[in-house]
Structure 1
Amino acid sequence: MITIQRLLTALTGVLLCFATLGAQAQDRDITYNSHVAQIINENCVVCHREGGIGPMQFESYDQVRPWAPLIQMRVANREMPPYAYDQHIGIQELEGDWRLAQEEIDTIVEWVNQGSPLGATDIIPPAVDLPNTDAWNFTASLGEPDLIVPSVPMDIPANGNDLWSKHFVESGLEQDRCIKAVQVKPRGDAKAVVHHANSDVWVPNEEGEYEDYGQLTEYAMGKWGELVPDGVCRTLPAGSRVRWSIHMYPGGVGATARGQEVKDNVVEIGLWFHDEDYAETEQPYKQDLRSYGMREGYENGHLIVPPHGFTMTQGFHSFDHPVRLDSFQPHGHLRMNAASLEIFYPETGRTEQISQISNWSATWHHSHIYSSDAAPLLPTGAVLVIKQWYDNSADNPNNPDPDQWVYGGSRTGDEMSHAWIAVTHLDDEGYDRLLAERKERSERSVAGND
């Protein structure tokens, strides 16, 4: 009994401590100039500015203040910035992670609760350094692309049915190169119109005929780009051709859709390469990007989402050698609303949660790029378990018509069930080495030596 009383006393003290800290946060005067402007400038203005894709501008207090209650709601619900990835489930160490820290969210929420004050006028918020709206996303860290592969120009009407363009473009490469980063960029006025822009690589065989070599990259609306980890190589071969497969939706999809005709739209692939001798000097492992399908949950071989109904699909994939998962990007259309990635280990019967996206949206496709120190390492025979959920009810804000039967297909109004996953293919030696390095870093961290 004495032990229980001591535990209760300790717990009460901890709760009182947290309550005191919360009260102190609420008692603090939070203003735009001193606290909020920097958060908005660093996380929101990149889209919400003149010429940006955001529907309103947040470049000054006068522009932000009328939208403060909406900003509070979207930020508190983690709907903005638009990076849907569940907190506290699976791997959280991601490259290009747009999510706000909880402290930043709390600051904005309390600022609005206090009436969204401007604050002292002699305090000047830090100026925001914004790239050009048409700039490449990796220019600041990697410079301009080493190679740009453009599509052919396309005219997209203001309305009508889905359109597709499939064509080849020469890469112009004279030697094999290892890719460091890649981004697909529609023109600014077509970002809401280009539904996806996939590209695969074709190379000549011994007879001089071109055949499919593999996926170069994938783009879907809102995607930031892909970073390839050090020590691996995703190859673009010499003499290769790039085969474009571009899906366009006239008028556009989502809040940024302009509903206007787009003339001579060109979609571009920007590629950043490692040094020419990288493959020879580093002896990197091979990385590839592939589509992994989910067919469990199909009805008689078909993906079907009934009117006002729900569907879940799942797929299972394994490898005959060790691998590392470098990124995970679920793909679907307007009824899809959630996805997850797990790993099942047959030898132990254990299932490990890797990623969960519970508020997925077709207007913001993200390739969730795992930090190389945290990316999942799979032994031979481990099983990827990929799941996606679909909501054809009126409660789904992206649903254009809950009365429709929805089937699997390529149109925007159809549905798809696959995920794009970048995989580094290891051997036993490389797998054991990476495990040992992680164990060593973990032990140093526990010992306080990092």
Structure 2
Amino acid sequence: MNIWCISKYASPAKYAKSPARLFHFCQEWQKLGHEVHLFTSDSNHLAHFPETAQVYEKEYIEGVWVHWFKTKKYSKTASIARILSWFDFERRLFGFKHQQLNPPDVVLVSSLSIFSILYGYYLKKKYGGILVFEVRDIWPLTMTEEGGISKYHPLTLLIGAIEKFGYRVADLIVGTMPKLDEHVRTIIKKRHFNFHCAPLGFHPENYVESSVKKNIFVGQFPENKIIVGYAGSMGITNALEPYIEAIYQLQHNNRFHFVLVGGGDLRTQFEGRLKGCENVTFLPRIEQEQVKDLLACCDVLYLSTKNSKVWEYGQSMNKVVEYMLAAKPIIASYTGYPSMINEAECGYFVKPEEDESSSEAIIRVLCEVAEMPKSEQKMMGERGKQWIYQYRTYALLAQQYLEKIKSIQR
């Protein structure tokens, strides 16, 4: 098959420190003998493309034909400039001379930008074939639930209309979250449609231990204590306030030491709250390839999400994959649809019991883990790692994805 993949943020390995998930799928499909073309943008806060005078660039990168378009740049992820960059990408798509390529058998449009489904539909009408609409973030639901934007805002209404259009015209709807189909039903009021869950995954070769590379975090944290790690942003949507309060309440408990790494709007506030507490270490933001080294030096890993309707359809977080690969018990303050951690039995979803605050619930579960024998803690962590290796390699996920597309063709 000839597969065209369209996604503004699907950066290839050459220009991104952490290649996009869709680029990995393109690589795997190419290995399976298909012709794959990836259409993306040079305007991405997670990648660095070279400056060029050309609007349209074409490169063969690690087995994939990548067409990257010069588009409007932005500096803040939550900004009008970023939205304008979406529209600029769509303008470039419609200006691209696609007739120079072999016609596509499959057109896969992956958000964001959600507006790209319009170009995908145009290609479907021109060439026929299968149109796949892939949703990685549920927009505009994420805007209204976590961004605080009114559901009657003109941009919300526009994106909502595009979302509904995409669900209606697609031959296959794909979500990185397992229950996206339930959301789709509420939008298009249709019971039966083709749906597939293609979650986040990993490449095993990226986790081969090096005998040469030194782990710079070894020896940085207190010995003979349970090191509880958090790696990621410290913003409103991360809902870390109960965790910070738990650290404060445990400052005189000699069993635990907490490590938080990353940036975010609330980091300074959290550092102020824990000023003088000797049971916590704040580290600056680190490179993506250093994250697994940090996690290796921890005994327990923590993550949290803001209570939101978005999570009713399941989580789709790189952090969960990284945590499970670290083979450590995971404590997740998460009230949405459970997946992965519960399936692998490698941790806990923290929900406060009656007359118990969220911070008290975190402390209770931490103490429960601390009472476990070291061998049991290790077994719990290893279950997570083994589960990821069994079910989440990109080679397996790409094959399953392709089989679903082929079933529709038949």
Q: Do the two structures share a fold, i.e. TM-score over 0.5?
A: no
Q: Which has the higher contact order (CA 8 A, sep 6+)?
A: 1
Larger radius of gyration: 1
TM-score interval, smaller chain: under 0.3
Q: TM-score of the superposition, structure 1-length normalised?
A: 0.22
Q: Which has the higher strand share?
A: 1
Q: Which has the higher helix share?
A: 2
